[in-house]
């Protein structure tokens, strides 16, 4: 029998607010342990939460970016369980009345075309403390770092619309792009600011039934989510084929062994409305203000880029996926450069450089204005591609003007024919056999000799001119 997978994802995203969700401590979990704590987030006896407006606003913006409908009234509940990472024995989470419902994201389907994946709801909750287990020494001890306790999260709960590891990964990527656009969250799975749990069940293909699901946790990259889901589908298929029943439980993905293993059940207590956090009542005015703060989102921006700048759909998509890049592109293009040339330079040169350096554009010294001046020099033939690349590298690191860098690094393109003549003379003199080959009709030799000549010019020769002169001399 052929099976198909039914997958739903629960994604926790940390909001990048200045302070925690219910107190005024800095939202910096990475600081020296227990530095960012106060009586409220340690939940000392007598303490009460006060909801951060910034967290509420950022959560609402994130909801809007994922096309969710903000609910007129939402409220926090207490999820009771006992564990040392929870300083008050319950977690404040919007269980019964979430902030928003009924959203969606679009992905490119595996077989092409668009597929819309629905979001059931998004709710706010507080993160828990971090446990550090020290196993060295005679008695192993566990330490609690409360820096993360009370930092704001949203949990995005999808409908079970996902059918494959590919769709799951595309869903996460699309969602991440949307959220990063809002500036409300970093969404890094590697750094734990985005955590994905997958609920997976399988059913005979074509049937509409929902079978017992298994929850899989502990994937720390999008790739791992795909792999864990694929593993789990295979495991469940094998179970069913052997006639074994699927049990409702939670499994952990082991990134080294690349398998999932069953996890011990955690005691989950009741979930009751919290009387101390005031209910969130959304007014139309407030919602309007939040909507105004929502930036132009990627899909809309891609359409506009295609129309306004004449980019192909693929180019427009590439230029709009990341908000920093999209703004950088537009600013550069506005300096009067051919937009497709800008796109090309961003995709083939700038983006790989940033990736190598693990930097966002804003973290480098490069500005759109200086980037535009560099491309203008390239356009005018003052420098060649090689030189432009060298200067670009420097522009990422210093605030010097591209013109100064060209002069200082002597990247100015050599278009002086007499200078090129000298180089060509030397090459021809050193490689008589290759010259002979060419004359016998082997045109590939031009490429080889061009390479040598460019090298001899330290990459500065105007390649077009150089080729013309070389071919003329060989003939």
Residues that bind another protein (CB under 8 A): 39-40, 42-51, 78, 80, 82-84, 87-90, 144, 269-270, 272, 274-278
CB of 126: closest distance to another protein in angstroms?
14
SS3 for 158?
strand
SS3 for 117?
strand
Q: CA 228 to CA 219: how far, in whole Å?
A: 7
> Can you give the binding site for Zn ion, defined by CB under 5 A?
23, 25, 38, 40-41
Burial of residue 140 (CB within 10 Å: 0-12, 13-18, 19+) is exposed
Residue nearer to another protein on the CB measure, 76 or 305: 76
CB of 153: closest distance to another protein in angstroms?
20
Partner interacting with residue 275 (select from another protein, Zn ion, none; CB below 5-8 Å by kind): another protein
CB of 286: closest distance to another protein in angstroms?
17
CB of 86: closest distance to another protein in angstroms?
8
The b/e string for 222-246 (b: 16+ C-beta within 10 A; e otherwise) is bebbbbbbbbbbebbeeebeeeeeb
Residue nearer to Zn ion on the CB measure, 41 or 202: 41
Residue nearer to Zn ion on the CB measure, 42 or 168: 42
Residue nearer to Zn ion on the CB measure, 25 or 168: 25
Which two tokens mark 265?
């059940």
Residue nearer to another protein on the CB measure, 40 or 435: 40
CB of 293: closest distance to another protein in angstroms?
24
Q: CA 380 to CA 174: how far, in whole Å?
A: 39
Partner interacting with residue 307 (select from Zn ion, another protein, none; CB below 5-8 Å by kind): none
Dihedral (CA of 333, 339, 345, 350) sign: positive
Residue nearer to another protein on the CB measure, 82 or 191: 82
Partner interacting with residue 49 (select from another protein, Zn ion, none; CB below 5-8 Å by kind): another protein
Partner interacting with residue 45 (select from another protein, Zn ion, none; CB below 5-8 Å by kind): another protein
Partner interacting with residue 82 (select from another protein, Zn ion, none; CB below 5-8 Å by kind): another protein
Q: CA 470 to CA 475: how far, in whole Å?
A: 9
CB of 143: closest distance to another protein in angstroms?
11
Partner interacting with residue 72 (select from Zn ion, another protein, none; CB below 5-8 Å by kind): none
Partner interacting with residue 41 (select from another protein, Zn ion, none; CB below 5-8 Å by kind): Zn ion
SS3 letters for 34-88?
CCCCCCCCCCCCCCCCCCCHHHHHHHHHHHHHCCCEECCEEEEEEEECCCCCCCC
Q: CA 377 to CA 98: how far, in whole Å?
A: 54
CB of 75: closest distance to another protein in angstroms?
12
Residue nearer to another protein on the CB measure, 46 or 243: 46
Q: Quick count: other Cβ atoms within 10 Å of Cβ 447? A: 9
Is the Cβ–Cβ distance between 152 and 123 less than 8 Å? no
CB of 150: closest distance to Zn ion in angstroms?
6
Partner interacting with residue 25 (select from Zn ion, another protein, none; CB below 5-8 Å by kind): Zn ion
How far is the CA of 138 from the CAs of 132, 133, 143, in angstroms? 16, 13, 15
Partner residues linked to 260 by β-bridges: 253
Comparing CA positions, the residue from 271, 274, 270, 252 lying closest to residue 261 is: 252
CB of 125: closest distance to another protein in angstroms?
15
Residue nearer to another protein on the CB measure, 34 or 221: 34
SS3 for 296?
coil
Comparing CA positions, the residue from 10, 62, 63 lying closest to residue 196 is: 10
Q: CA 135 to CA 415: how far, in whole Å?
A: 68
Which two tokens mark 180?
């990063």
Residue nearer to Zn ion on the CB measure, 44 or 422: 44
Partner interacting with residue 338 (select from Zn ion, another protein, none; CB below 5-8 Å by kind): none
């Amino acid at each position: 029998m052929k099976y198909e997978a039914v997958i739903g994802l629960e994604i926790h995203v940390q909001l990048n607010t200045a302070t925690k969700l219910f107190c005024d401590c800095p939202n910096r979990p990475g600081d020296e342990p227990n530095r960012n704590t106060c009586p409220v987030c340690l939940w000392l006896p007598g303490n009460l939460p006060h909801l951060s407006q910034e967290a509420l606003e950022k959560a609402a913006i994130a909801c809007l970016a994922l096309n969710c409908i903000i609910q007129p009234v939402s409220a926090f509940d207490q999820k009771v369980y006992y564990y040392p990472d929870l300083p008050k024995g319950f977690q404040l989470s919007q269980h019964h009345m979430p902030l928003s419902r009924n959203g969606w994201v679009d992905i490119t389907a595996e077989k092409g075309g668009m597929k819309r994946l629905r979001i059931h709801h998004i709710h706010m909750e507080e993160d828990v403390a971090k446990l550090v287990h020290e196993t060295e020494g005679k008695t192993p001890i566990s330490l609690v770092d409360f820096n993360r306790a009370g930092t704001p999260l949203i949990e995005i709960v999808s409908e079970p619309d996902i059918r494959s590891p590919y769709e799951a990964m595309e869903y996460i990527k699309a969602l991440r792009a949307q959220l990063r656009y809002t500036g409300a969250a970093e969404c890094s799975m590697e750094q734990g600011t985005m955590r994905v749990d997958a609920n997976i069940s399988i059913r005979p293909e074509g049937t509409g039934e929902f079978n017992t699901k298994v929850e899989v946790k502990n994937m720390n990259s999008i790739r791992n989510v795909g792999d864990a889901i694929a593993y789990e589908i295979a495991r469940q298929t094998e179970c069913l084929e052997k006639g074994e029943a699927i049990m409702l439980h939670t499994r952990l993905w082991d990134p080294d062994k690349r398998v999932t293993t069953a996890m011990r059940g955690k005691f989950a207590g009741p979930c009751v409305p919290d009387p101390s956090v005031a209910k969130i009542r959304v007014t139309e005015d407030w919602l309007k203000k939040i909507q105004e703060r929502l930036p132009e989102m990627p899909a809309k921006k891609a359409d506009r880029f295609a129309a306004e700048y004449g980019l192909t759909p693929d180019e427009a998509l590439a230029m709009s996926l990341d908000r920093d890049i999209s703004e950088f592109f537009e600013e550069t293009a506005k300096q009067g450069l051919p937009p497709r040339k800008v796109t090309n330079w961003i995709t083939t040169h700038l983006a790989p450089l940033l990736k190598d350096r693990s930097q966002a554009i804003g973290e480098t010294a490069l500005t759109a204005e200086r980037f535009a001046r560099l491309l203008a020099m390239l356009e005018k033939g003052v420098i060649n591609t090689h030189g432009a690349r060298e200067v670009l590298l420097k522009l990422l690191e210093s605030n010097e003007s591209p013109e100064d860098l060209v002069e200082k690094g002597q990247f100015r393109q050599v278009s002086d024919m007499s200078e090129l003549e000298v180089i060509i003379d030397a090459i021809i003199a050193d490689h008589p056999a290759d010259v002979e080959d060419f004359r016998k009709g082997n045109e590939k030799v031009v490429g080889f000799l061009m390479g040598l000549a460019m090298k001899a010019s330290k990459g500065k020769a105007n390649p077009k001119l150089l080729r013309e002169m070389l071919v003329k001399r060989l003939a």
